[in-house]
Structure 1
Amino acid sequence: MFEPRVALASLSGRSDADWAVRGEQFAGAAFLGGIALDDQTREAARELVGRDREEFLPDDSLGFVDRQLAALEDADLRAGFNVRAAGSEPVREAARICADRDAVLEVNAHCRQDEMCRAGAGEALLRDPDRLAEAVGVAADAGATVSVKVRAEVPGVDLTEISRTIEDAGGDAVHVDAMDSEGVIADVAESADLFVIANNEVRDRESVREYLAHGADAVSVGRPSDDPAVLRRVGRATDEWFAGSESEPEAESEVRA
């Protein structure tokens, strides 16, 4: 799906084309967004901004997706866009843009903010696999490569079942925020034929190797995605793993840089 197998994970209101360009020398992919696509999720985003959270709220969400992806046309990484929607039709339209730009459409089934869940997006999709499957299906039918960002440790949600739902609906990848359950990566990797991206506290050689040993195909960096020292460590460790290198661990001073 992308090489090197390090992705920059979306951070709402921060992850735009300029952010991706700053990390392109270290990563094979960058997921922009998240972006609210419809009236319900845009209202939720406005409520989040009202309590001092960062969100993208352009006048034209789909136009914003297209312009941001166009700005990365010559970047040395694969772009993706993390999207939030209560219904499937806006996802279809965003997926068409992503397909035209050879970008990944990432369905956000991850956001746990109450406002977004009440709108029917984010983590709410994990509790409604039929709607999740519909969103994945329309995006795949539009010709996009489809990823779904999910979260571990959601009560009542089995990520192995969710992964099979994503695969059956035509998805290509699952982007897993493992929370404190690194072993869930192995369960997801074994349950479906999807490209598995592991996320959460990816910082150094140890965290990279733990996720890859559990069967992840790639790792992603979230909040420190604008820190070159972290990205350099993660990139080196990922390259070593896939090259089969047994090089010595990095010096303690470098790990803490």
Structure 2
Amino acid sequence: MTRNADGSEAPADEEPFLVAASLSGAADAEWARDAAEHVDAALLGGVALDPASRAAARDLVARGRSEFLPADPLAFVADQLDALADAPVRPGVNVRSATPDPIRAVAEVCADRGAVCEVNAHCRQPELRAVGCGESLLREPERLARYVAAAAGTGATTSVKVRAEVPGVDLVAVAERAAAAGADWLHVDAMDAEAVVADLASAVDAAPAGGEADDLADLTLVANNGVRGRETVAEYAGHGADAVSVGRPTEDPPVLARVADAVEEWRAGTLRRREDETGPEPEVRP
């Protein structure tokens, strides 16, 4: 097994696990501690790192969105991760940048603390897309690969948060390029196309085994969107996901506990679908 920041055992990536997905302006160390009883990993942020992404984040705040805008983003990330050093959860941080160098710098902070560095290729706000952040990276897989390589080169576990149903984007091709660049996790917001997880899982399963550590065959698929309990966890498990994540339910303890129970059943091999949990998850705020 891998270990959490406090030294306790955490599920290895080959075991089903539960991730608390970043919520913009809300997912800090206190949020992660509150969720730690139920989740295996908690991704803080998203945090804008460079001048362009920070300017976009300020524009978002001006129109009412909650954002993290610390004076020193790297120091903020370090402080937040250090605050979780004794927490029974694996920490990480979702980050945005218009260039790869800040990704490398924050990934070094993560690597030093055994934390996950998640490259945000997910946000769809026009302000962020205009400066080359978030979803725009899905249409530029070579640039995304440079971001991933910058993070992975530090030794940090590297996740890429992506979104389904982006016109003109082939997520399997994106996954292949990200994995070749060193991505460990692909964190997939399935939107209303949950079967995209099955497409990705099929590609991972079909990839040659025994290659380099960064091959597609080693990619861990984390499924996000609409996870509410046994029914939705079982659906994503059936599609071939390795893990699931929750956003808004991290702020709804009964739902979070229900999802955690379902993931525990998944781990134990006793998970069965029930038609008693419905309702889509509102979009997370990465």
Number of positions where the alignment pairs a residue of Structure 1 with one of Structure 2: 254
* 1:197-223, Cα deviation, whole Å (9 max, x unpaired): 000010111001000110100000011
Are residue 223 (structure 1) and residue 223 (structure 2) matched?
no
2:167 is matched with: 155
Deviations 1:69-122 (A, max 9, x none): 000001101011000000000000000000001000000000000000001110
Quote how far apart the aligned CAs of 1:231 are.
Answer: 1.0
Q: Take 1:222 and 1:41, find their aligned partners in 2: how far apart are those partners? A: 22
Give aligned-pair identity as a percent: 56
User: Which residue number in structure 2 is paired with residue 206 of structure 1?
Assistant: 231
Do the aligned partners of residues 217 and 248 (structure 1) sit closer, same or farther apart at CA in structure 2, a change above 3 Å counting? closer
Quick one: distance in 2 between partners of 1:237 and 1:146? 26
Consecutive aligned runs of 4 or more in structure 1 exceeding 3 Å deviation? 246-250
* Contact kept in structure 1, 2:230 and 2:271, CA below 8 Å: no
* Structure 2 gap ranges (5+): 3-9, 204-215, 280-286
Q: Does the 8 Å contact 2:94/2:117 carry over to 1?
A: yes
The corresponding residue for 1:103 is 115
Greater alpha carbon shift after TM alignment, 170-179 vs 233-242: 233-242
Question: Paired residue for 1:47, among 45, 59, 63?
Answer: 59
For 1:176, what is the secondary structure of its paired residue? strand
Q: Pick from 123, 139, 142 the counterpart of residue 130 of structure 1.
A: 142
1: distance between equivalents of 2:250 and 2:165?
A: 23
In structure 2, relative to structure 1, the CA distance for the partners of 1:215 and 1:96 (3 Å cut) is same
The aligned amino acid for 2:105 is: E
Consecutive unaligned residues of structure 1, counting only runs of 5 or more, are none
- Partner SS, residue 234 of structure 2: helix
Aligned AA for 1:243? A
> Equivalences for 1:23-38 in 2 at 5 Å?
23-38=35-50
**8 Å Cα contact 1:107/1:146 also seen in 2:** yes
Alpha-carbon distance change, 246 to 132 in structure 1, aligned in 2, over 3 angstroms: closer
Partners of 1:210 and 1:240 lie apart in 2 by 13
Q: CA deviation at 1:130?
A: 0.8
CA contact (8 A) 1:233 1:255 kept: no
Q: Match of 1:11?
A: 23
Deviates more, 1:185-194 or 1:108-117: 185-194
CA gap of 1:218–1:31, structure 2 versus 1, over 3 A, is same
TM-score in terms of structure 2 length: 0.86
Distance 1:209 1:60 in 2: 41
Alignment of 1:65-84 (within 5 A): 65-84=77-96
Q: Is the 8 A contact 2:18 2:260 kept in 1?
A: yes
Does residue 1:92 correspond to 2:92, yes or no?
Answer: no
Cα RMSD (Å) of the superposition?
A: 1.7
Q: Which residue of 2 aligns with 1:232?
A: 257
| Separation (CA, whole Å) in 1 of partners of 2:91 and 2:69 | 20
Query: Please, what TM-score do these two structures have when normalized by structure 1?
Result: 0.95
- Residues 196 and 216, structure 1, Cα contact 8 Å, conserved in 2: yes
Local SS of the residue matching 1:153: coil
